[in-house]
């Protein structure tokens, strides 16, 4: 019995051996005597070519081998006379595991637009493009764990169900088991959450940061890597309602250390993709985005610009004065839109920018307050084609200042008492940031829409599959 070999290993094997391959048929072509089958099993972007002698195979069996069918092939691995590949399989026996009706199969050559493929997200992993994207996604997840592991960070799992709104933006999905048709009410007529599963109002988390800070102020350096949920009605190519975030949090790091880590982290990840996933990146480069490889290498080789928000606004205003039109006109205090971020990165500096010291009113309550009373020690990393890829800050370490800010924003103390204990007991300077995993993948794959770098996207009005 020959053991099955994956296509990626077959392609790297020496000819002159008996092999067994299993996978899905990408294409079948040929002439009267010979059929050529391109077989793929998801292990690599490349197919293995299977050569079938038509005179030696039952025509009924051959007819079942159509695009999308799943087959097992026994045969000899031989040197390929064709130009596309070094080796191919000369089939001696083929078993059809699963036929695939060529008329009803939803993946047809004629309709491969990304919009269409989103409607068949259950099958799109079988396309070359999604195979490449999903392999890259997996590789990058591994690279992230490896990066932090090598630096001695502790991987901390933070809860997905929470009673606290970490970002204070109020865009959380509620988690409840109350009977929607018969909601218990309190004296004021409001839903009585004391009767709910957790005995209080709970939601899906928008960020693991607050619990991450508990970890960092005990273990020193931690990171989280998990799904986060935001019920913001942003139907853009850069927003998901369910996305994955990596949040490192470090005791004794100030904003500068935080920026250094963010820059090194993201460069290491891009370099990892170039060093370890070149086949898939190259495929995406050649198929869709001929500048992808150069853009990736550019980020690895470039020092990021570090710039204050206020200076950033000055640059944008100067551009406006010069005749550049933004959809939203520029003024100090505004939350920068993707058009502003991309102007700085793509047109003005032509490299990634770390923007710091944002107005406190557009940032979360936990950020360290600057002496000017107006700004906080925030940092956003802005990337070409993406805009914001990382958001972070040095944290407010002073109990009094943090409490004052919580009051100023009329936030509930009750759900944050445990968080405030980090400042009550042995507080320390600390910092952290969050990298949006899908935004990173947008950059690394060159894909245009965030719905196409996660297997099953969740967006407003869309939770199929």
Residues at the contact surface with ligand 4AD, assessed by CB under 6 A: 166-167, 207, 209, 230, 239-240, 243, 245, 247, 388-392, 432-434, 436, 438-439
CB of 336 to Mg ion, least distance (A): 10
CB of 436 to ligand 4AD, least distance (A): 2
Interacting partner of 124 out of ligand 4AD, Mg ion, none (Cβ under 5 to 8 A depending on kind): none
CB of 390 to ligand 4AD, least distance (A): 5
Other C-beta atoms within 10 Å of 14: how many? 9
- Up-side HSE of residue 325: CA atoms within 13 Å toward CB? 1
Other C-beta atoms within 10 Å of 318: how many? 12
Q: Cβ(78)–Cβ(15) under 8 Å?
A: yes
* Dist. CA 444–CA 293, nearest whole Å: 9
CB of 317 to Mg ion, least distance (A): 22
Decide whether 196 or 247 has the Cβ nearer to ligand 4AD.
247
Interacting partner of 38 out of Mg ion, ligand 4AD, none (Cβ under 5 to 8 A depending on kind): none
Decide whether 343 or 433 has the Cβ nearer to Mg ion.
433
CB of 242 to ligand 4AD, least distance (A): 8
CB of 228 to Mg ion, least distance (A): 12
Q: Quick one: which H or E segment has residue 128?
A: helix 128-150
Interacting partner of 148 out of Mg ion, ligand 4AD, none (Cβ under 5 to 8 A depending on kind): none
Decide whether 131 or 391 has the Cβ nearer to Mg ion.
391
Decide whether 192 or 388 has the Cβ nearer to Mg ion.
388
CB of 225 to ligand 4AD, least distance (A): 12
Interacting partner of 390 out of ligand 4AD, Mg ion, none (Cβ under 5 to 8 A depending on kind): ligand 4AD
CB of 439 to ligand 4AD, least distance (A): 4
Interacting partner of 434 out of Mg ion, ligand 4AD, none (Cβ under 5 to 8 A depending on kind): ligand 4AD
Decide whether 25 or 376 has the Cβ nearer to ligand 4AD.
376
Q: Give residues with Cβ within 8 angstroms of 279, minimum separation 6.
A: 44, 45, 46
CB of 337 to Mg ion, least distance (A): 12
Interacting partner of 284 out of Mg ion, ligand 4AD, none (Cβ under 5 to 8 A depending on kind): none
Q: Which residue is nearest to Mg ion (CB)?
A: 391
Interacting partner of 452 out of Mg ion, ligand 4AD, none (Cβ under 5 to 8 A depending on kind): none
Other C-beta atoms within 10 Å of 222: how many? 26
Largest CA distance in the chain: 85
- Residues lying near Mg ion in the complex (CB under 5 A): 391
- What are residue 98's DSSP bridge partners? 70
Decide whether 121 or 364 has the Cβ nearer to Mg ion.
364
CB of 174 to Mg ion, least distance (A): 22
Interacting partner of 193 out of Mg ion, ligand 4AD, none (Cβ under 5 to 8 A depending on kind): none
Strands 387-394 vs 375-383: parallel, antiparallel or unpaired: antiparallel
384: left (phi over 0), alpha (psi -120 to 50) or beta: beta
- Up-side HSE of residue 381: CA atoms within 13 Å toward CB? 27
Other C-beta atoms within 10 Å of 310: how many? 16
Instruction: Identify the CA nearest to 42 among candidates 139, 135, 137, 138.
Output: 135
* Helix 278-287 vs helix 255-276: crossing angle, to nearest 10: 80
* Dist. CA 54–CA 52, nearest whole Å: 6
Decide whether 66 or 375 has the Cβ nearer to Mg ion.
375
Decide whether 167 or 196 has the Cβ nearer to ligand 4AD.
167
Phi, psi of 331 (to 5 degrees): -150, 150
Phi, psi of 172 (to 5 degrees): -100, 150
Decide whether 27 or 412 has the Cβ nearer to ligand 4AD.
412
* Dist. CA 80–CA 11, nearest whole Å: 11
Interacting partner of 419 out of ligand 4AD, Mg ion, none (Cβ under 5 to 8 A depending on kind): none
Interacting partner of 126 out of Mg ion, ligand 4AD, none (Cβ under 5 to 8 A depending on kind): none
Q: Cβ(382)–Cβ(389) under 8 Å?
A: yes
Q: Looking up tokens 């005791």, which residue turns up?
A: 251
Q: How many residues does the chain have?
A: 465
* Helix 255-276 vs helix 292-301: crossing angle, to nearest 10: 140
Mapping DSSP to helix (H, G, I), strand (E, B) and coil, where does residue 137 land? helix
Decide whether 164 or 296 has the Cβ nearer to ligand 4AD.
164
């Amino acid at each position: 019995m020959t053991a099955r070999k994956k296509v990626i290993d077959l392609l790297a094997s020496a000819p002159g051996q008996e092999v067994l391959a299993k996978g899905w048929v990408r294409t079948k072509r040929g002439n009267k005597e010979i059929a050529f089958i391109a077989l793929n099993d998801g292990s690599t972007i490349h197919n293995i070519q299977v050569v079938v002698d038509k005179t030696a195979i039952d025509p009924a069996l051959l007819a079942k081998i159509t695009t999308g069918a799943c087959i097992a092939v026994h045969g000899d691995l031989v040197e390929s006379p064709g130009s596309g590949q070094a080796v191919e399989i000369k089939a001696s026996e083929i078993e059809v595991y699963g036929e695939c009706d060529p008329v009803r199969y939803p993946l047809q050559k004629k309709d491969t637009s990304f919009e269409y493929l989103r409607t068949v997200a259950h099958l799109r992993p079988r396309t070359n493009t999604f195979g490449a994207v999903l392999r890259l996604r997996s590789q990058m997840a591994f690279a992230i764990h490896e990066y932090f592991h090598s630096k001695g960070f502790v991987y901390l799992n933070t809860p997905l169900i929470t009673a606290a709104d970490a970002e204070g933006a109020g865009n959380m999905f509620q988690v409840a088991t109350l009977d929607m048709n018969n909601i218990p009410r309190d004296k004021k007529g409001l839903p009585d959450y004391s009767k709910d599963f957790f005995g209080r109002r709970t939601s899906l988390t928008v960020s693991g940061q607050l619990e991450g800070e508990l970890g960092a102020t005990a273990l020193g350096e931690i990171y989280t890597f998990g799904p986060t949920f935001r019920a913001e009605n942003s139907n853009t190519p850069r927003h998901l309602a369910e996305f994955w975030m990596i949040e490192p949090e470090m005791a004794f790091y100030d904003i500068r250390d935080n920026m250094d880590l963010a820059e090194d982290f993201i460069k290491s990840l891009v370099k990892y993709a170039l060093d370890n996933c070149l086949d898939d990146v190259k495929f995406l480069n050649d198929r869709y985005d001929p500048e992808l490889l150069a853009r990736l290498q550019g980020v690895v080789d470039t020092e990021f610009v570090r710039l204050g928000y206020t200076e950033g606004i000055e640059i944008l205003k100067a551009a406006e004065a010069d005749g550049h039109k933004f959809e939203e006109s520029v003024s100090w205090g505004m939350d920068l839109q993707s058009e502003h971020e991309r102007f700085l990165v793509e047109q003005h500096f032509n490299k990634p920018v770390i923007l710091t010291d944002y107005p406190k009113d557009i940032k979360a309550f936990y950020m360290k307050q600057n002496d000017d009373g107006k700004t906080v020690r925030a940092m956003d990393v802005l990337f070409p084609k993406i805009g914001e890829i990382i958001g972070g800050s040095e944290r407010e370490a002073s109990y009094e200042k943090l409490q004052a800010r919580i009051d100023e924003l009329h936030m509930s103390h009750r759900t944050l008492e445990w968080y405030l204990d980090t400042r009550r007991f042995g507080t320390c300077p600390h910092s952290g940031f969050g990298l949006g995993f899908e935004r990173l993948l947008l950059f690394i794959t060159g894909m245009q829409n965030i719905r196409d770098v996660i297997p099953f996207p969740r967006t407003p009005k869309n939770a199929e599959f």
